[in-house]
Structure 1
């Protein structure tokens, strides 16, 4: 009797697990036909979504620990902040992780011991603008930012 109860309970539990895993779905991506979700005036294409992604802030962009995409043989890890959020991000008073050396004019991290001080949730878009070398330009619409430490 107990074996039948345990086996039916295990079967129900396994069935419940399979059904709940099968029903999970990604949240719908925002409609961005006119660029209103990120870069106004451009057709924005969703590239990927970040959840709790390590990143550092560079003034007008975020650089992520994980790559966004490849361009030729190099990884692209940086995305500009969507123009529709520029003012909102500015009011968050995030610490810029990059400093420009006045002598060499090279960019470097302010604190190399804390390379990715933020965790970012957001959507990466490809905008139809290209860098001088032909690389695609990406923008990030931030849903949430947390300090890592």
Structure 2
């Protein structure tokens, strides 16, 4: 009797692992050709997931503490928000930390007034590259599909 119970338990465990492994693919971790996942009517090429990355809101985009990639023009640290999430992100009422935190010095340079407010959020989500849009430089154009944001200061 005990051996039958043990065999049933082992069989159920193996079945559960097999079924679970087949269902582990996250549908957001793919390119989306028609842009429905983020930027409509554009190819959104999956770049990577960001998990707990430090970021700030900058107008209609995010600026990250760590670089997303590099180009011949230097590090790329910013990306646009997914337009399909505009209402959802607006409802989160994320503070634009650059709006009242930047001053112009008159010589064409901008400086942070308070650098401790530079990256007030930890964010989780998916980074995509818009591959088919015309651009002025060779730097990639990134968009970020936000899953979660937490204020850290």
The TM-score bracket by the shorter chain reads 0.7 to 0.9
**TM-score where L is the length of structure 2:** 0.71
1:112 deviates by 1.1
Secondary structure of 1:87's counterpart equals: helix
Q: How many residues align?
A: 127
1:50–1:122 CA contact under 8 A, matched in 2: yes
Unaligned segments of structure 1, at least 5 residues: 1-22
The CA RMSD measured in Å over matched residues stands at 2.4
What corresponds to 1:45 in structure 2?
45
What corresponds to 2:138 in structure 1?
134
**TM-score where L is the length of structure 1:** 0.73
Distance in 1, matches of 2:135 and 2:142, equals 10
Unaligned segments of structure 2, at least 5 residues: 1-20
Using a 3 Å threshold, how does the CA distance of structure 1 residues 102 and 113 change in structure 2: closer, same or farther? Answer: closer
Query: Structure 1 residue 116 and structure 2 residue 119: aligned?
Result: yes
1:30 deviates by 4.7
1:117 deviates by 0.4
Distance in 2, matches of 1:89 and 1:51, equals 18
Mapping of residues 49-68 of structure 1, within 5 Å:
49-68=49-68
1:81–1:141 CA contact under 8 A, matched in 2: yes
